[in-house]
């Protein structure tokens, strides 16, 4: 069974996935991911995956039969186990807990050649609906404090199967990167009675420098302190802490905004590898007698999507400092992604 | 000129190295690094680098002439500029400062085929001496709060030139990853009158599980919450906050311990790519009237080296949560690196 271990010096947890234990000889250069025939995620190959936990099957039909549009299955090589209780342990300076969690794969289409950037908006809504159903279902499990939905596109970005898919992992603790954002949102709200993300969006939309695209409900920005060249963040324009409460119009608007960015990546950057992360409020409704800290649903948070093209490498400087070096200014990146005529880089902030 | 920008939500700074500004078409797959003839770091090619800032030339001779053993030159494509003042700016939620710093390359040998893992210990001492001279010199520049020394080995780990070299970057702020460790050391010392690293080393050396190698002065451990498979941390066994104060015996002992680990990497993992980071106390002696916070030399810190083999990929889950998934338990990694006979993984903590 895997374990969650805390670094004894700093606030950092890792998953030691020992049942994935490999020998040193397993760490050779990886073969390219399989393509074409025999893919376990293709329609008609349902028996090759673990039994589904959810599917959208418009024509009806039993679980694990063909005819689905979007299908969610447990990860065959999960980082965490869904069985057992979360138990906490410690010896001296060392702290750990059992590696309990959920690790699921959202197969975005039965078609191996499905293109997430070019799919019909109505199909994107089905994918969002699958995310929503799974997050809402996992929120009902009191062992879990947070669910992260993410999408790895391209081998460089960590995709090990080429069939288009997203993943989600439910964790028994609120991860540090999320906790920092929750903490900042809470502090700012206590001080100002306003959402820090709402204020940032208002400030950024007043200037064109880092604005990439906006429709009625969503806005795509090149973040001021982007870690990665061509990094993009997408926010709902009206305050919302929870992505699962979108209505139909909002889902279509999200598809429009997200696909605008991904199509511009394809046009400007030749289908780059990227990581996409959906950041929403944690899971738990406060319960009497239970200290939840950062696992509690926080209405002062503002949900968003981060997209990180993986065109640069992280090396000793980045790992040793937590700093990133970004060789493309966010203003230039926004210009490229908006489709501006090439020009000198803006100096405005 | 580049800028240091702070993320408006969380404590994270990035370097926007706009003078490195590249167009989207520059982000194609990279050609392999050059090897063999024409390398600007080879002995005899001194004119191909910027003028040296330091060199160890046992036979004497003028700067930028052949005959050196270790040579330090400014990075030809620096992330930060050594010219100008550190000035701080802000508009609304956005904060930034001028990108002032030093970015130098430590050429570890005039020989292109130099092997850092197999070099004579006496040559390793020369490399350490170059690190020490540069860190001490940059500490004299009141604009800089922290210097990080790092080594990227292999293209996957971000090395863009194959000639063996390390780098150092002096920063005008103490980076977040360092600040977290300094803060933990300070808090623990205030509570216990002891160093948290000393306590951790004592606890780990009492058990053989994660111990890889120890000599009189240094110990190599597989960290309890390792982020990367086969990650190794090396600590001086006696408390020391500053790596620049090592004596000759300690330098030879560090070479012995470090090269033991790197040779075992070569034997078990076929010369894997890795990042090595030297973590030592920040720069400034407290000055009246100057708020230094985490830029002040902190004697409750314990300097160390981190080595991260780059055998796994960081993807959406890691970037979105700050969590890492490590598929090799630190106990198994320590066993492999010690050279134990293959056995079932230990379950002990």
pLDDT tier, A289 (very low <50, low <70, confident <90, very high otherwise): low
Strand partners, B103: B169
Q: In chain A, pLDDT over 70 holds for what percent of residues?
A: 89
Q: Does A151 contact B at CB distance below 8 Å?
A: yes
- When mean pLDDT is compared across A16-20, A273-277, B223-227, the lowest value belongs to A16-20
pLDDT tier, B146 (very low <50, low <70, confident <90, very high otherwise): very high
Pull the structure tokens for residue B59. 């036979």
How far is C-alpha B65 from the geometric centre of its chain's CA atoms?
28
Per residue in A195-219, pLDDT (tens digit) is: 999 999 999 999 889 999 999 999 9
Per residue in B9-52, pLDDT (tens digit) is: 998 999 998 755 455 556 554 455 555 568 999 999 999 999 99
pLDDT at residue B25, rounded to an integer? 58
- When mean pLDDT is compared across A59-63, A186-190, A339-343, A345-349, the lowest value belongs to A345-349
Tell which phi-psi region holds residue B140, choosing left (phi > 0), alpha (psi between -120 and 50) or beta. Answer: alpha
- For residue A86, how many other CB atoms are within 10 A of its CB? 17
Could you give phi then psi for residue A152, rounded to 5 degrees? -105, 120
B136 exposed, middle or buried (CB, 10 Å; 0-12, 13-18, 19+)? middle
pLDDT at residue B288, rounded to an integer? 58
pLDDT at residue A282, rounded to an integer? 87
Distance CA B251, CA A84 (A): 49
Q: Does A22 contact B at CB distance below 8 Å?
A: yes
Q: Rounded mean pLDDT of A110-131? A: 97
Give yes or no for residue B221 having a pLDDT over 70. Answer: yes
Which domains are present in chain B?
41-78+101-312+323-338 (3.30.428.10)
pLDDT at residue A345, rounded to an integer? 47
Q: Rounded mean pLDDT of B79-108? A: 94
Choose the catalytic residue: B146, B165, B233, B241.
B165
Residue of B nearest to A80 (CA): B325
Q: Does A15 contact B at CB distance below 8 Å?
A: yes
Could you give phi then psi for residue B295, rounded to 5 degrees? -90, -5
Pull the structure tokens for residue B193. 């009158």
- For residue B343, how many other CB atoms are within 10 A of its CB? 8
Q: Assign 3-class secondary structure to A55-115.
A: EECCCCCCCCCCCCCEEEEECCCCCCECCCCCCEEEECCEEEEECECEEEEEECCCCCCCC
- For residue A269, how many other CB atoms are within 10 A of its CB? 20
pLDDT at residue A160, rounded to an integer? 83
pLDDT at residue B348, rounded to an integer? 47
Between chains, do B18 and A272 touch, taking CB under 8 Å as contact? no
Which pTM was predicted? 0.93
Mutate to test the interface with B, among A203, A316, A322 (most CBs of B within 10 A): A316
Per residue in B111-145, pLDDT (tens digit) is: 999 999 999 999 999 999 999 999 999 999 989 99
Give yes or no for residue A346 having a pLDDT over 50. Answer: no
Distance CA B72, CA A257 (A): 48
Please write down the long-range contacts of A76-82, taking CB distance under 8 Å and 24 or more positions apart: A76/A49, A76/A50, A77/A20, A78/A102, A78/A103, A79/A2, A79/A15, A79/A17, A79/A20, A79/A103, A79/A169, A79/B317, A79/B325, A80/A2, A80/A15, A80/A17, A80/A169, A80/A170, A80/A171, A81/A1, A81/A2
Averaged pLDDT score across all residues of chain A? 90
Strands B13-16 and A324-326: parallel
Pull the structure tokens for residue B28. 């194609």
Q: Which of A148, A180, A203 sits opposite B10 (nearest CB)?
A: A180
Nearest to A150 by CA among A303, A305, A12: A305
Distance CA B11, CA B318 (A): 18
Distance CA B320, CA B322 (A): 6
- For residue A126, how many other CB atoms are within 10 A of its CB? 18
Between chains, do A321 and B176 touch, taking CB under 8 Å as contact? yes
In chain A, which residues have their Cβ closer than 8 Å to the Cβ of B320? Answer: 148, 150, 175, 177-178, 275, 277, 279, 306
A331 contacts A345 by C-beta, under 8 angstroms: yes
Q: Does B207 contact A at CB distance below 8 Å?
A: no
Give yes or no for residue A284 having a pLDDT over 90. Answer: no
DSSP state of A30: P
Between chains, do B151 and A316 touch, taking CB under 8 Å as contact? yes
End-to-end CA gap in chain B: 49
Q: Does A21 contact B at CB distance below 8 Å?
A: yes
Distance CA A242, CA A173 (A): 18
Q: Assign 3-class secondary structure to A224-240.
A: CCCCCCCCEEEEECCCC
Q: Rounded mean pLDDT of A144-171? A: 94
Residue of A nearest to B342 (CA): A23
pLDDT tier, B184 (very low <50, low <70, confident <90, very high otherwise): very high
Give yes or no for residue B260 having a pLDDT over 50. Answer: yes
Nearest to A307 by CA among A228, A219, A236, A231: A231
Strand partners, B67: none
């Amino acid at each position: 069974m895997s374990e969650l271990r805390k670094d004894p010096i700093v606030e950092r947890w890792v998953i030691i996935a020992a049942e994935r234990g490999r020998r040193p000889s397993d760490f050779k250069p990886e073969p390219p991911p399989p393509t074409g025939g025999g893919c376990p995620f293709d329609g008609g190959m349902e028996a090759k995956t673990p039994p589904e936990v959810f599917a959208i099957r418009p024509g009806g039909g039993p679980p694990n039969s063909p005819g689905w549009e979007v299908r969610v299955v447990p990860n065959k090589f999960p980082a965490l186990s869904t069985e057992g209780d979360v138990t906490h342990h410690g010896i001296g300076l060392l702290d750990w807990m059992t590696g309990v969690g959920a690790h699921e794969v959202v197969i975005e289409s039965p078609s191996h050649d499905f293109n997430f950037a070019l799919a019909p908006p109505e199909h994107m809504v089905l994918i969002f609906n699958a995310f929503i159903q799974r997050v809402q279902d996992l929120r009902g499990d009191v062992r879990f404090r947070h669910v992260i939905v993410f999408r790895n596109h391209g081998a460089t970005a960590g995709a090990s199967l080429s069939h288009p898919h997203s993943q989600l992992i439910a964790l028994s603790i609120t991860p540090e990167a999320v906790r920092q954002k929750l903490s900042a949102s809470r502090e700012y709200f206590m001080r100002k009675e306003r959402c820090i993300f709402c204020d940032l969006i208002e400030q950024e939309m007043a200037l064109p420098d880092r604005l990439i695209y906006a429709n009625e409900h969503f806005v795509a920005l090149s973040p001021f302190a982007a870690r990665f060249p061509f990094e993009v963040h997408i926010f709902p324009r009206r305050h919302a802490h929870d992505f699962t409460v979108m209505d139909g119009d909002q889902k279509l608007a999200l598809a429009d905004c997200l696909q605008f960015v991904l199509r511009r990546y394809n046009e400007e950057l030749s289908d780059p590898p990227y990581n996409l992360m959906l950041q929403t409020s944690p899971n738990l409704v406060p319960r009497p007698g239970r200290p939840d800290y950062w696992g509690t649903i926080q209405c002062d948070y503002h949900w968003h999507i981060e997209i990180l093209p993986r065109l640069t490498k992280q090396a000793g400087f980045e790992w040793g400092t937590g700093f990133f070096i970004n060789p493309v200014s966010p203003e230039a990146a926004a210009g490229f992604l908006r489709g501006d005529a090439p020009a000198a880089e803006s100096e405005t902030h």
